[in-house]
Amino acid sequence: MTGPGGTGPAVESLSVCVCTVPTDAPGGDATLTWDSTTMVLVQARSAGVCGLGWTYGAAAGAGVVSDLLAPVVTGRDAWDVPGANEAMSRAVRNAGRPGLVAGAISAVDIALWDLKARLLDLPLVRLLGAARAEVPVYGSGGLTTYGARHTERQLRGWTEDQGFGRVKIKIGESWGRCPDHDLERVRRARRVIGDGCELYVDANGGYGAKQAIRMADRFADQGVLWFEEPVSSDDLAGLRRVRDAVAPDVAAGEYGYDLRYLARMAASGGVDCLQADVTRCGGITVWLKAAAVAESLGLEISGHCAPHAHAHVCAAVPNLRHLEWFHDHVRIEERFFEGALDPSGGAVTPGASGAPGLGLTLRTEHIGDGWSG
């Protein structure tokens, strides 16, 4: 079956599943705590082939996929993924695009790109066009809810067991009300990882601009190179104030749910590196556009979380800095997918196996184990 007006096979169906996975320890950062993580997974089918895509967020995103997006995408030419992305964006006008709706669009878009690459029997990075063979990653975790021993085990696991040269911890505990503890955690992390490893911090918008500047001054002697969301990512003027005053690179963008948001941030002068989340911003289609916008302004881009959804598209852009190897998402993706990438040495090589698409196979034995659809 060919899609209307197209030359490729039609998208025959979209299905969606939801799984909520308990955390392996209580989770928390500067502004939020949680005890579980929910994956909304989409399967797009055509000509006997199934593409996979997902987002992390509210389970209600599954209803957006089935009620609003599936009727728009089903029957379309499977080759025309950007056209499907545009059609989905138009279809949700009255539902409101930011937030879980954008996550749902992202999951479908990723599934459609995976489907297209599988239909062509190509690794996705080859379909997109590789700009690099390896994607640098950094270990991400060090949550504010972790005790000292837990954080140390995690840091040593990345640096000593896996050979990572970059790690990140959370700071800004309790909306910035524990600055001395934040500083001690930064100092402890540096002692654990040694001088040869890059140290990053993420305040998740927990500080105000002046407090963020003061904190950067206090941990200046710890060699912190990356200060993520020192203030709310919606406060572009505050980000600019911090960026102009501190030595570490300032990064933000993970809550960009469309291209215009990310373009405004990149053009604001508030970040040294633009972050974008392929599972939130509109999928691979929009992430590539955001990378191009960043490149036009002399900025690099970094992939936020969901590492196996990002790896191939990260390898397709020349201005990539790195990809976040977020502990919570890694454990979920390794549990539910065969073909998970090996980050040993601090980098992954998407497409090296030759497997088509994202190179992942859903572990069907887990269907029914926490899943609903």
Query: Rounded CA gap, 261 and 294, in Å?
Result: 12
The mean pLDDT value for 288-296 works out to 98
Q: CB 213: neighbour CB atoms within 10 A?
A: 19
pLDDT in tens, 175-204: 999 999 999 999 999 999 999 999 999 999
- Give per-residue pLDDT as tens, 152-162: 999 999 999 99
Percent of the chain with pLDDT over 70: 96
pLDDT of residue 4: 58
Q: For the segment 117-132, what is each residue's pLDDT rounded down to a tens digit?
A: 999 999 999 999 999 9
The answer on pLDDT for 371 being more than 60 is no
Burial class of 5 by CB neighbour count within 10 A (0 to 12, 13 to 18, 19+): exposed
Burial class (CB in 10 A: 0-12, 13-18, 19+), 364: exposed
pLDDT of 261 > 60? The answer is yes
Output the pLDDT for position 364: 78
Q: For 304-319, how does the pLDDT look when each residue is reduced to its tens digit (9 = 90+)?
A: 999 999 999 999 999 9
Q: For residue 8, what pLDDT is reported? A: 85
Q: According to the model, what pLDDT value does residue 354 have?
A: 97
DSSP string, 248-270: SEEEE-TT--SHHHHHHHHHTT-
Asked whether the predicted pLDDT for residue 288 surpasses 90, the reply is: yes
pLDDT at 286 over 70: yes
366 — pLDDT class (breaks 50, 70, 90): low
Task: Please tell me the predicted confidence (pLDDT) of residue 264.
Answer: 98
pLDDT at 226 (0 to 100)? 98
* Per-residue pLDDT at 5 exceeds 70: no
Q: Is the pLDDT of residue 320 over 80?
A: yes
For the chain, count helices (H), then strands (E): 14, 15
- Output the pLDDT for position 345: 98
Q: For 94-103, 106-115, 196-205, which range has the lowest pLDDT when averaged over its residues? A: 94-103
Q: Is the pLDDT of residue 229 over 80?
A: yes
pLDDT of residue 97: 87
pLDDT at 367 over 60: no
Q: How far apart are CA 52 and CA 109, in angstroms?
A: 9
